[in-house]
Amino acid sequence: MNTAPLPPTSRRQFLKTTGKAAAAVSALAGVALPHVHAQGSDQIKIVLIGCGGRGGGAARNALSVKRGGAKLVAMADVFENRLNSSLAALKRDREAGPDVEVDDNTKFIGFEAYKHAMDQLRKGDVAIFTTPLAFRWVHFQYAIEKGINVFMEKPLTADGPSSRKMLALAEESVKKNMKVGVGLMSRHSRHMQQLHQRIQDGEIGDIMLMRGYRMQGGSGACVPKQFDRRGKDLPEVMFQISRFHSFLWLSGGCFSDFYIHHVDHLCWMKNAWPIKAQGVGGRHYKKNPEGIEYCDQNFDNYAVEYTFADGTKMYMDGRGVPGAKPVYNSWAHGTKGIAVVARANDATGPSSTYKGQNAVAENRLWQSEVAPGENDPYKNEWVALLDAIRNDKPHNEVKRGVEASIVCNMGRMSTHTGQEITFDEALNHEHDYSPNSDKITPDGPSPLTPDSEGRYPKPQPGQIGKREYVENAA
């Protein structure tokens, strides 16, 4: 695959907002899927690449779709203890355990382990990618070469070059008729699907404003390696991977990794992506009890104002401060009423609509209800993917996953620089956080180098501008 830098792309060239979309109602509940597979077998093999908590969860969700007839046959990670603990947990799981067929010969460790795992598959099988995002394009490229279907976790990119690479790879995967799911499960929430249809039908009028809030505890901060007993014996690159939420090249930081769900499902309600962003934020509690400053590259607080082409605003507020009030919800305000998009999380609902702008019981117009067994979007997304594989239906979520990632990158970059950032600037920024992700080795150099005291660059709004931002602050 050609991964040379791509020419600048404008938002208009590849962004096509969806029109009115019917709410997806599962036709699979209680119905056995036909025994059809690309290679003539009724069994779909799955491999897991990246065996952390998200990887184990994705594999468990895949194997819980009993109508899918899937088996987990191989696992890969750069940390052997992580792979072994994930495998043990999966084998103990009541739903997933019977379909786990991984042994010592199909456990692969190291930066080339993804190839060995995918080599266990045939065309039509599925590889799960749940490693840090720096390796997403590397693994996806190999899957395309082999014609393997994919489920990949969000976010997909953290910078312009990797976004452009992933968009090009997405086009290749569509040409090969690959089925690819992306872990933005909100769009598989039956509650939100129902709400989306009602918003398209004009129940709350034209959207004027949207708001998202994700206030939680800490965001994966760590102290410099030489002060952290758990990491002092790890090579630098392995230390950073073990704490990937702390480093922008591995996760996009907490803004990309955590807030992307709100960004994605609110933009879905609008059927558009914003064209620019400005934001504020800051660091407040970045020291451990001994007074040592954390190496974490995140802010404690983010507040980003997004603007759409028609002038509509979307506000995304995030906070990673233990002890502060937890808030997790999202709202859409229209000319005729208001919608609660996510009430307490992205998963279980319900969504609801209200007349006017006060979401109180006496103003409620509608509240979502779903059929038994349909309430878990993490499982719903696997039902959709496996159904598409078995029945050869179009199913490729990569382009949308990249677009949502770009919008997050735009918001994070605007906050870290103190500058307004456009979608085109985020997409076409030339600095690559990790230009050689396919060549990283356990003992080799990391794309991010600490200073002589083991500390890492952190954002400096107003001091480091948008052009030189990434080279110095990331």
Tens digit of pLDDT for each residue in 198-224?
A: 999 999 999 999 999 999 877 656 666
Query: What CATH code is carried by the domain that includes residue 202?
Result: 3.30.360.10
For 179, residues 6+ apart whose C-beta sits below 8 A from its C-beta are 149, 150, 385, 388, 389, 393, 395, 396
Q: How confident is the model at residue 186 (pLDDT cuts 50, 70, 90)?
A: very high
240 and 372 inside one domain:
yes
Whether residue 242 is found in the same domain as residue 108: no
- pLDDT of 226: 61
Looking at the predicted structure, is the pLDDT value of residue 348 above 80?
A: no
Residue 209 placed within a domain: yes
The pLDDT, as a whole number, for residue 35 is: 39
Residue 273 near residue 10, CB atoms below 8 Å: no
The mean pLDDT value of the chain amounts to 88
Please check whether residues 40 and 128 belong to one and the same domain: yes
User: Which phi and psi angles does 455 have, rounded to 5°?
Assistant: -100, 155
Poorest-confidence range of 33-37, 64-68, 257-261, 453-457?
Answer: 33-37
Asked if residue 39 is part of any domain, the answer here is yes
| Residue 96 and residue 69 in one domain | yes
Tokens of 459: 């954002």
Instruction: Assess contact for 193 and 343: CB atoms under 8 A.
Output: no
Give the containing element (helix H, strand E) for 411. Answer: helix 398-417
Q: By mean pLDDT, which of 182-186, 280-284, 452-456 is the weakest?
A: 452-456
Banded pLDDT at 39 (limits 50, 70, 90): very low
Residue 397 has φ and ψ, to the nearest 5°, of -105, 10
DSSP bridge partners of 421: 277
**Residue whose C-alpha is closest to residue 167's, from 353, 364, 410, 428:** 428
Task: Reply yes or no on whether the pLDDT at 108 is more than 80.
Answer: yes
Mean predicted confidence (pLDDT) in 33-55? 74
Print the domain residue range for 370: 191-376+406-425
> Which region among 30-34, 176-180, 348-352 has the lowest average model confidence (pLDDT)?
30-34
Q: Is residue 474 in some structural domain?
A: no
**What pLDDT digit, counting tens, does each position of 72-104 carry?**
999 999 999 999 999 999 999 999 999 999 999
Q: What is the pLDDT of residues 215-251, one digit of tens each?
A: 987 765 666 666 665 556 889 999 999 999 999 999 9
Please say whether the beta carbons of 230 and 362 come within 8 A: no
Question: How do beta strands 352-355 and 337-342 pair?
Answer: antiparallel
- Count how many residues are written for the chain: 474
**CB neighbour list of residue 420: distance below 8 Å, 6 or more residues apart:** 276, 277, 278, 414
pLDDT at 219: 61
Banded model confidence at residue 14, pLDDT cuts 50, 70, 90: very low
pLDDT tens readout for residues 444-473? 999 999 888 788 888 989 886 666 555 444
Same domain for 278 and 308: yes
CATH code, domain carrying 113: 3.40.50.720
pLDDT (average), residues 358-382: 95
Query: In this structure, is residue 166 part of a structural domain?
Result: yes
Q: Is residue 463 in some structural domain?
A: no
Q: Residue 454 domain-assigned?
A: no
Examine the domain organization and report whether 353 and 381 are in the same domain.
no
Identify the band that residue 12 occupies on the pLDDT scale cut at 50, 70 and 90. very low
The answer to whether residue 432 scores a pLDDT higher than 60 is: yes
Are 242 and 388 part of one and the same domain?
Answer: no
392 and 329 fall within a common domain: no
Quote the crossing angle between the two packed helices 160-175 and 398-417, to the nearest 10°: 170
Q: Cis peptide leading into 450, omega within 30 of 0? A: no
* pLDDT tens for each residue of 126-151: 999 999 999 999 999 999 999 999 99
Shared domain for 107 and 182, answered yes or no, is yes
- As given in the structure block, the two tokens for residue 222 are 């760590």
Look at the chain and report how many structural domains it folds into: 2
Of 255, 272, 248, 246, the residue nearest 214 (C-alpha) = 255
308: left (phi over 0), alpha (psi -120 to 50) or beta: beta
Residue-by-residue DSSP string for 291-315? SPBP---S-SEEEEEEE-TTS-EEE
Q: Does some domain include residue 471?
A: no
Confidence of residue 26 (pLDDT cuts 50, 70, 90): very low
Same domain for 175 and 322? no
Residues 6+ apart with CB under 8 A from 336: 202, 203, 204, 205, 355
* Domain co-membership, 218 together with 91: no
Across the range 336-351, mean pLDDT stands at 89
**pLDDT value at residue 467:** 60
pLDDT at 170 over 70: yes
By the 10 Å C-beta count (0-12 exposed, 13-18 middle, 19+ buried), 279 is classed as buried
Are 349 and 271 contained in the same domain?
Answer: yes
Is 435 inside any structural domain?
A: no
Confirm if 133 and 433 have CB atoms less than 8 A apart: no
